């Protein structure tokens, strides 16, 4: 635990003898040496939770080097079944990691757009010409406990001979790429598989025999999708509410850790099926079908997913991540919506949109139902954790590519009308914090 140390500089002076002087000098030297040793052996640097201050950020920082302490830190063994970070004030079970605020962090990200080979072009905001850099210098500060920065040395050491899967849509892929970027500062992964559209991938870290996968299944249930890579549809999605997508269920038994998430795709126009029979739809005017709404389909899907997880013989460590709000203003992604903010929101400055609130309520209700049904499942190794990133992500309207999903979008015309991305995250960016949360939840799981 980091303790506050105070000195009283207003003490009255006293006449000391020569021997007493020697004693005082020795005591001070011993204290200084002890403090230095503690600082050098600490896993992470802690910052005050005071309100954010205005940062003096260089206009053109050097992105060719990383923090020296992070580069040279040796691998450390770490057991996920016991608290691994003894400097933390409270265990995860005793505090809410997901309630807090974003505070200034002059240390910046662990990696850069030049040191990570896994950043896709539409996420590489700095390379694409984004002029501001303030969004890189914030960290999530939970209200009642400390959140250590993700330690890639500890993570890889503990994940020897293990496998992870991130299951969901493009936000899950965004999350995987953030994790890859952090881990690549220790060991670069080899891509060993990709599907035809490069949406599902597998990487291997040979030195640790660690496998990391992303499985693209935007609904998590069976869906016939008629949409190209640019989001243009030729027909309505056909969604089977009573069948899971075998792309992930067939591989489920292969993973030790799973991060699963869904949500946004359920807002799209879709025809709903049960028992291979049409029962209704969502947003399908002119089809003469019953409007059931996305909330009906999402609840059905989550219940099917949680039933599969809780009844399966295989028992991985599972994170269920809540929905990610977007930050489109003055329109949607297809109608000129933008996200030009350059600072985080403070608590109380923004309200969650109705659709996101509805989606998150369904997630919390179905998660609670699943965990309540498996209270006796601990003996079977059932571990199901809620990765509730919705609120902390809502406070970061500044972390999206916006128009800089394209390379130098205003190079030829400063008033050009370009499509904005206000849903996915720049890399590096706020999504890196999700990995801090994941590692802390593993470290403090009992």
Catalytic pick from 42, 107, 170, 358? 170
Q: What angle do CA 228, 232, 235 make, to 5 degrees?
A: 90
**Residue 339, CA atoms < 13 Å, CB-side half-sphere:** 31
Residue 297: strand, helix, or coil: helix
Q: What angle do CA 37, 64, 110 make, to 5 degrees?
A: 50
- Which residue spans within 143-269 are E strands per DSSP? 163-168, 190-194, 201-205, 210-216, 221-224, 237-244, 257-260
Six-digit token string for 226: 């008629």
Catalytic pick from 146, 245, 421, 432? 421
Q: Which of 352, 313, 434 is nearest to 385 (CA)?
A: 434
Q: What angle do CA 184, 49, 140 make, to 5 degrees?
A: 35
Known active-site residue 307: no
Known active-site residue 170: yes
Instruction: Give the chain's radius of gyration (CA, Å).
Output: 24
Q: The tokens 């999708």 sit on which residue?
A: 225
The alpha helices in 265-353, defined as continuous H runs, are: 294-311
Q: The tokens 């947003």 sit on which residue?
A: 283
What phi and psi values does residue 201 have, to the nearest 5 degrees?
A: -145, 160
Q: Which of 127, 173, 133 is nearest to 406 (CA)?
A: 127
User: How many H helices and E strands in the chain?
Assistant: 9, 13
Known active-site residue 172: no
How do strand 317-321 and strand 221-224 relate by DSSP bridges? unpaired
Catalytic pick from 240, 424, 432, 436? 424
Six-digit token string for 142: 């939970």
| Catalytic annotation, residues | 170, 421, 424
């Amino acid at each position: 635990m980091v303790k506050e140390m105070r000195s009283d500089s207003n003490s009255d002076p006293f006449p000391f003898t020569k021997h007493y002087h020697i004693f005082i000098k020795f005591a001070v030297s011993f204290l200084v040496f002890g403090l230095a040793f503690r600082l050098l052996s600490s896993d992470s640097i802690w910052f005050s939770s005071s309100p954010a201050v205005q940062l003096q950020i260089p206009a053109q920082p050097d992105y060719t080097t990383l923090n020296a302490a992070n580069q040279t830190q040796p691998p450390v063994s770490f057991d996920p079944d016991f608290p691994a970070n003894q400097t933390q004030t409270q265990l995860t079970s005793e505090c809410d990691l997901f309630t807090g605020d974003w505070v200034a962090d002059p240390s910046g990200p662990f990696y850069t757009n030049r040191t990570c080979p896994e950043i896709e072009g539409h996420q590489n905001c700095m390379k694409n010409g984004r002029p501001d850099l303030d969004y890189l210098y914030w960290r999530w500060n939970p209200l009642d406990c400390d959140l250590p920065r993700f330690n890639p040395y500890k993570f890889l050491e503990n994940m020897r001979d293990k496998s992870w899967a991130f299951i969901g849509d493009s936000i899950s892929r965004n999350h995987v790429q953030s994790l890859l970027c952090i881990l690549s500062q220790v060991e670069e992964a080899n891509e060993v598989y990709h599907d035809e559209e490069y949406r599902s991938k597998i990487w291997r870290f040979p030195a640790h025999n660690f496998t990391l996968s992303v499985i693209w299944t935007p609904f998590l249930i069976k869906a016939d999708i008629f949409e190209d890579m640019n989001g243009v549809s030729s027909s309505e999605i056909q969604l089977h509410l009573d069948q899971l997508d075998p792309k992930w269920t067939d591989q489920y038994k292969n993973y030790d850790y799973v991060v699963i998430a869904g949500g946004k795709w359920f807002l799209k126009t879709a025809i709903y099926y049960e028992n291979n029979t049409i029962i209704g739809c969502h947003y399908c005017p002119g089809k003469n079908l019953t409007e059931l709404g996305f909330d009906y389909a999402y609840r059905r899907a989550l219940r099917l997913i949680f039933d599969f997880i809780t009844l399966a013989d295989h028992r991985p460590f599972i994170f269920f991540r809540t929905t990610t709000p977007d930050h489109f203003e003055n329109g949607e992604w297809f109608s000129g919506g933008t996200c030009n903010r350059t600072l985080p929101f403070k608590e109380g400055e923004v309200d969650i949109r109705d659709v996101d609130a509805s989606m998150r309520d369904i997630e919390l209700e179905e998660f609670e139902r699943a965990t309540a049904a498996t209270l006796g499942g601990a003996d079977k190794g059932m571990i199901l954790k809620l990765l509730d990133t919705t609120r902390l992500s809502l406070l970061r309207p500044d972390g999206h590519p916006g128009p800089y999903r394209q390379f130098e979008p205003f190079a030829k015309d400063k008033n050009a009308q370009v499509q904005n991305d206000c849903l996915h995250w720049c890399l590096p960016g706020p999504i890196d914090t999700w990995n801090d949360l994941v590692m802390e939840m593993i470290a403090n799981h009992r």
